[in-house]
Chain A
Amino acid sequence: MTAPARNRPPRVGDSPAVRRTLITAVLAIGAVLVLAPLVVILTQAFSLGFSYFAETITAPDTRHAILLTVLTALIAVPVNTVFGIAAAWAITKFDFPGRRLLLIVAEIPFSISPIVAGVAYLFVYGLQGLFGQALQDADIKILFALPGIVLASMFVTAPFVARELIPLMQAQGRDLEEAATSLGASGWRTFFSVTLPNIRWALLYGVVLCNARVMGEFGAVSVVSGNIRGQTNTLPLHVELLYHDYNTVGAFAAASILTVLAIFTIIAKVLLERQGAGRGGRPALAAPNAIPAEKPQ
């Protein structure tokens, strides 16, 4: 290929004016919508100096909120990971009545407002709810306690792992598992040495997204948790609480922790995408003859 000559008419749709306008507009909107608020959070968090920042985030209520958020993630993420793998496996490897329905059900939390999920849980487990009386008689506390927070978080993030795995596993088909079994591998052995390694990046990608959402979830959790300071307050709820207390700097400090978490998530996401996870990496993993390596060096 020779270098394109200068002053040649641009490709179709490649007019310089359109290009410049579009790029400038997108950059400007991105800066105002996304970047500026993040910068504000960080500057506000440190506006009264580092010591005040440190004091705020080590305050007992904030510490407890962080702990609760981490605890919720530690329970909700593994459970949803197992659910995601199981759902993806069932949907892609088996034929059963209700397969399509399961596919739709697993996607519902994406399209439904989290607050609806929270209210629904109120109706199911609340005192006036379906199991409310039975639960109270058995002295089991679900709402306004950790179980409720975990359940609501799990509802909201249920599709994350399954959604990453299903297209990949669909593309891979059953050949690899059949090959492993025909070579004498047991079901568990096949899963751990053949299936899992081939979905590991997509799985991790789903887990990272799921974790980010669990830690940041506000709507559903705010309904079921009861916002009891130092007891059922997760980090996002705590931010709101501090803000309503006119402790702006404290709110921004707590928010900055969530922001840092988000930045770590993005970094993990980018690294995983380089490994072929996410939507972009699928075809290469899927097609057995995608790489025409007829003459490898």
Chain B
Amino acid sequence: MKIRLENVVKTFETFRAVRDVSLDIESGELVALLGPSGSGKTTILRMVAGLEFADGGHIHFGDQDATDIPVRDRGVGFVFQHYALFPHMTVAQNIAFGMKVSKVRRARQEIDARVAELLRLVRLEGLGDRFPTQISGGQRQRVALARALAVDPKVLLLDEPFGALDANVRRDLRRWLREIHGELGITTIFVTHDQEEALDLADRVVILNEGRIVQQGTPEEVCRRPNSSFVMHFLGDAYRLPAQVEAGIARIGDVALDAPSCPEGPAEIYVRPADLGWTNSGSGMPAVVTRVIDRPDGRRVLADTDAGQSLEIDVPPETPVRASDRGFVQINRGSVFPAA
């Protein structure tokens, strides 16, 4: 099911949660709504679900205007942040609930068969008789997903699906959700504030800030070509270096970086630790190492430049560098934006 948001607006009391958001989601796509808290991502998801109604704009499901269709009839599967499993029902009863209350009457055997099939899909065979309090967080998450899928939703919506889980369970579930999505091909939107999760899981990432879409694109596009300093910062550690652009080249001292699309004049170069290099002799921005942090996959150098800026630089594990060494920071790549 193709979903289309047109100039959607939502205000709570005086807080403008969503301001004029337009978004197209292709059928079968897996889209992440990514943003800091208060960016309006959950509100957008709840409006697509019908749990909130938009103050302005339209939401289309395929060719149908779904803006005013109540959640009950909208045909979405919603997975809540804290799962919202019915505590007084077993896992199997939770999954069967949507089929039992449906306007479409189903035979008991049909429901039982579908529950068994869903339990297999979410790899919880044999746990159907447990109550939600008797299973782990990751298992609850999968029950919530199975329950949402049981009603054959046109769209699957997940609110911070892995927020309450620990890191290992989170990574496994992420890969697993990707597999399920591949298997079922259902249009899926999920909300997260964790950029790693969004980049790991989604076909397309929609980055939001203060109720507006800041940038959308594939993980590759938003990572390699961030269109603003906000996106650059939000996707990971980033440092801002003041520079001067002349004839398509940004310069800081004798360090130069191509900036073909940036207008002449003052500019800012945004760099990540992995975009920087370190050399004990040669050229670059002169700096002093304050600390070296060793990690399994490399070393991170913390350095202060002579211009008074603190930077972090990722270097290969074999790089010979120690605290209080003097040397030079090189910029291998970076994003150049005109100075604000």
Contact = CB atoms under 8 A, between A and B. Distances in A.
Interface of A: 175-176, 178-186, 189, 193-194, 197-198, 285, 288-291, 293-296
Contacts, number: 79
19 contacts: A175-B80, A175-B82, A176-B84, A178-B51, A178-B80, A179-B84, A181-B71, A182-B49, A182-B51, A182-B72, A183-B150, A184-B72, A184-B98, A184-B101, A193-B101, A293-B134, A293-B135, A295-B136, A296-B134
Contacts of B77: 182
A118 to B, nearest CB: 41
A184 B103 CA distance: 8
B252 interface: no
Given A184-B103, A185-B101, A296-B130, 19 more contacts: A175-B80, A175-B84, A176-B84, A178-B71, A181-B72, A182-B51, A182-B78, A182-B148, A186-B72, A186-B101, A189-B101, A193-B101, A198-B87, A288-B83, A293-B133, A294-B136, A294-B137, A296-B134, A296-B135
Given A182-B76, A182-B78, A185-B72, A291 B84 contact: no
Nearest to A297: B134
Contacts of B148: 182-183
B151 A184 contact: yes
Interface residues of B, number: 33
Which 4 pairs, one residue from A and one from B, show the smallest C-beta to C-beta distance? A183-B98, A175-B84, A179-B84, A185-B101
B145 to A, nearest CB: 12
Given A183-B98, A185-B72, A186-B101, A289 B86 contact: no
B97 interface: yes
B133 A183 contact: no
Contacts of B223: none
A290 B132 CA distance: 11
Nearest to B166: A294
B102 interface: yes
A178 B101 contact: no
Contact of B88 (A182, A189, A197, A295): A197
